Amino acid sequence: MKMKNKQNLIAAALVVVLAFTPTVAHAADSLPSWNDGKAKQSIIDFVAKVTTPGSPDFVPVPERIAVFDNDGTLWCEQPIPVQLYFALDRVKALAPQHPEWKDKEPFASLLKGDLKTALAGGDHALIELVMATHTGMTTVEFEQIVKDWIATAKHPKTGKLFTAMTYQPMLEVLAYLRANGFKNFIVSGGGIEFMRPWMEQVYGIPPEQVVGSSIKTKYEMRDGKPVLVRLPEINFIDDKTGKPVGINSHIGRQPIAAFGNSDGDQQMLEWTQAGGARLMMLVHHDDAEREFAYGAKSHIGTFSDALMAEAKQKGWIVINMKNDWKKVFPFEQ
Amino acid sequence: MKMKNKQNLIAAALVVVLAFTPTVAHAADSLPSWNDGKAKQSIIDFVAKVTTPGSPDFVPVPERIAVFDNDGTLWCEQPIPVQLYFALDRVKALAPQHPEWKDKEPFASLLKGDLKTALAGGDHALIELVMATHTGMTTVEFEQIVKDWIATAKHPKTGKLFTAMTYQPMLEVLAYLRANGFKNFIVSGGGIEFMRPWMEQVYGIPPEQVVGSSIKTKYEMRDGKPVLVRLPEINFIDDKTGKPVGINSHIGRQPIAAFGNSDGDQQMLEWTQAGGARLMMLVHHDDAEREFAYGAKSHIGTFSDALMAEAKQKGWIVINMKNDWKKVFPFEQ
């Protein structure tokens, strides 16, 4: 908006033209890490259908909303979800200020390095962990804690940064949809303020397009400056039936494409499908060699037999990581 | 994205160039309904400051977030807020199905046309009204009810559609900011699902950029189709200290410009100012002739002496409707 004359504007316009030309001309090449097959083709066909003016399934740009689960759909959630590693590292960092944790579960086992016993307490133990490590500070302080941690934290198996443990084929889907006028939203069970600080850089998704679970916050003045304090009280769980609720609350439109990988995404896909010509996809983790193989019997990212049956019955596309993806992670050769 | 050859793309690009040229060349003319003065100048200066590359106050496009209160800031809230007219009309429409309302307040007085007695119950009466008229149906059904109502409902004083009772100078601010790379959000105490169905058309603000008060919803299957049912339970009140909370929850960034008109907007302006070079503005209703004159003593849109003192002390700009605006409503000559 700040250019000084029409010549500059025309030059800028030509840059825009040239930038878009490859996308328009070679749409199929926008998904190079996908093997040819039903999954890849269903994405290309869907995008063509909803973006072709005059098509009976044409969708105007403002309504091209796509929603993506995060853990297990856009990045690796095994052997445990990334946010849990964050919580564990926070417990270690905060332990000196909490001598009582030595005798209190789940902290005691965690500090001894016994993850299994620590998490045996199930949801209750998890919530205790989150409340102890994710609350009490201001939102600005928490954002900085997350940024500092994610800048160096590494996956225990690959030794790569967690932010490098994203799925290359899904990064291509994000870019392909965006180039075709879609607005991509994250709709994840993960903490909304754990995800926002790094998603713009990693996925090109800005904070206002991130929907997640949250704790309550409280506005107050500290030393004459306004802050939002993170309270140890759950505000919203963005999982299962919570996902359509979160979508309605944050987006206010029904998505036209939804991508998930587990039982937690079932209702999001159902809700997306209710609208008409829609695309519903589930990542199935069947690649023990390049990533992990898990599904119906896994506690993390459960992909139950019931979900598989619903997918089959309703025409949702199951992405078989092993066959559909040439490459899983961006760092692979 | 669907054009067939480069020639079409260049033609489209030139249309973009021509569309932007007047904005760039004659920025001051983007606010034709504002009288010259401090208020108008503060908007122009602020936009220049944050959009000029190299300026110490330059803000990159993704961070150009502006927030707007709705009632009394973008449209008329007198003699009672528009959403209350909606609730009253719903009571009349639903009365045949609720014979018990004849003997029950606030419904009994309302049905007799005695608004004053009906609303004498204060917040309790208001909540009863909202729950009786805004809940029980699905989100899709409610959206249709709002759309049908707003298409014909008229202001009792002017006889104009409520959607014509917007402030022309503020519509110009919305467009001016948008043309300068801003993303405009509504942050209103009004019901989020009452506002979304018409704001895209009236303000150019899409549903995902509307933050408001909300009731809880529940996901369920009805005849094999998924729906969200609106429950008679308050989820969130987006007013006063709730506004920074709502901004953090929905947007996840601190705004760089905030526009309000009453005590309900105080914390939103404080929260906006905390970030650096920021613009905070309050519409002051002092124009009984063209609109309404109200402020410190009004129950609707209270602009207290304390808020006026805080504005003065903190350098927030007070817009005096009478002097600062050439024209109030779009339909004026």
CA angle B19, B22, B24 (to 5 degrees): 100
Cα B48–chain centre separation: 25
Q: What is the mean pLDDT of residues B33-53?
A: 95
State the smallest CA–CA distance between residue B308 and chain A in angstroms.
Answer: 18
pLDDT above 80 for B161: yes
For residues B247 and A333, give the distance between their C-alpha atoms in angstroms, rounded to a whole number. Answer: 42
Q: List strands edge to edge, sheet with B65-68.
A: B225-236, B210-222, B183-191, B65-68, B257-260, B279-284, B317-320
Q: Does residue B66 or residue A124 have the better pLDDT?
A: B66
Query: What's the confidence (pLDDT) of residue A275?
Result: 83
Query: What's the confidence (pLDDT) of residue B25?
Result: 35
Beta bridge partners of A215: A234
For residues A203 and A174, give the distance between their C-alpha atoms in angstroms, rounded to a whole number. Answer: 7
pLDDT tens for each residue of B103-152: 999 999 999 989 889 888 888 888 899 999 999 999 999 999 999 999 99
Give kind and range of the element (H or E) at residue B166. Answer: none
Give which of A322, A240, A315 is closest to A280, Cα–Cα: A315
For residues A19 and A3, give the distance between their C-alpha atoms in angstroms, rounded to a whole number. Answer: 19
State the smallest CA–CA distance between residue A13 and chain B in angstroms.
Answer: 5
Query: What's the confidence (pLDDT) of residue B147?
Result: 98
For residues B50 and B47, give the distance between their C-alpha atoms in angstroms, rounded to a whole number. Answer: 5
CB contact under 8 A, B206 and A51: no
Query: What's the confidence (pLDDT) of residue B320?
Result: 93
Lowest-confidence region among A9-13, B169-173, B261-265, B269-273: A9-13
Alpha helices in A26-150 (DSSP H): 38-51, 82-94, 107-111, 115-119, 122-134, 139-150
Query: What's the confidence (pLDDT) of residue B275?
Result: 82
DSSP class of residue A35 equals P
Supply the mean pLDDT for chain B.
90
R_g (Cα) of chain A, nearest Å: 21
Q: What is the mean pLDDT of residues B291-296?
A: 92
Neighbours of A38 (CB within 10 A): 14
Give which of B126, B150, B294 is closest to B213, Cα–Cα: B126
For residues A279 and A318, give the distance between their C-alpha atoms in angstroms, rounded to a whole number. Answer: 11
Give which of A294, A270, A249 is closest to B224, Cα–Cα: A270
From residue A40, alpha-carbon distances to A173, A317, B182 in Å are: 10, 10, 36
Question: Which residue from A20, A21, A225 is facing B274, i.e. has the nearest CB?
Answer: A225
Query: What's the confidence (pLDDT) of residue A122?
Result: 83
Question: Which residue from A1, A20, A21 is facing B24, i.e. has the nearest CB?
Answer: A1
Lowest-confidence region among A8-17, B96-105, B172-181: A8-17
- Reduced to 3 states (helix: H, G, I; strand: E, B; else coil), residue B296 is coil
Query: How does pLDDT run along chain A (333 residues), one tens digit per residue?
Result: 343 444 444 444 444 444 443 344 345 589 999 999 999 999 999 999 999 999 999 999 999 999 999 999 999 999 999 999 999 999 999 999 999 999 999 999 999 989 889 888 888 888 899 999 999 999 999 999 999 999 999 999 999 999 999 999 999 999 999 999 999 999 999 999 999 999 999 999 999 999 999 999 999 999 989 999 999 999 999 999 999 999 999 999 999 999 999 999 999 999 999 988 899 999 999 999 999 999 899 888 999 999 999 999 999 999 999 999 998 999 887
Give kind and range of the element (H or E) at residue B18. Answer: helix B6-25
State the smallest CA–CA distance between residue A62 and chain B in angstroms.
Answer: 8
Beta bridge partners of B260: B282
Question: Which residue from B207, B214, B248 is facing A139, i.e. has the nearest CB?
Answer: B248
Axis crossing angle, helix A192-203 with helix A139-150, rounded to the nearest 10: 50
Which chain B residues are closer than 8 Å to A207 by Cβ? 251-253
Query: What's the confidence (pLDDT) of residue A148?
Result: 98
Pairing of strands A279-284, A317-320: parallel
For residues B259 and B266, give the distance between their C-alpha atoms in angstroms, rounded to a whole number. Answer: 10
For residues A176 and B146, give the distance between their C-alpha atoms in angstroms, rounded to a whole number. Answer: 35
Please say whether the beta carbons of B259 and B73 come within 8 A.
yes
Question: Which residue from A9, A17, A242 is facing B9, i.e. has the nearest CB?
Answer: A17
Pairing of strands B257-260, B279-284: parallel
Please say whether the beta carbons of A230 and A191 come within 8 A.
no
pLDDT above 90 for B332: no
Query: What's the confidence (pLDDT) of residue B27?
Result: 52
CB contact under 8 A, A6 and B21: yes
Which chain A residues are closer than 8 Å to B196 by Cβ? 252
CB contact under 8 A, B196 and A20: no
Give which of A25, A332, A27 is closest to A175, Cα–Cα: A27
Please say whether the beta carbons of B140 and B217 come within 8 A.
no
- Reduced to 3 states (helix: H, G, I; strand: E, B; else coil), residue B317 is strand
CB contact under 8 A, B241 and A253: no
Q: Does residue A248 or residue B7 have the better pLDDT?
A: A248
Please say whether the beta carbons of A38 and A317 come within 8 A.
yes
For residue B79, cis peptide bond before it (omega within 30 degrees of 0) = yes
Q: What percent of chain B is helix, strand and coil (3-state, nearest 5)?
A: 50, 20, 35
Question: Above pLDDT 70, what percent of chain B?
Answer: 92
For residues A216 and B172, give the distance between their C-alpha atoms in angstroms, rounded to a whole number. Answer: 36
For residues B20 and B179, give the distance between their C-alpha atoms in angstroms, rounded to a whole number. Answer: 8
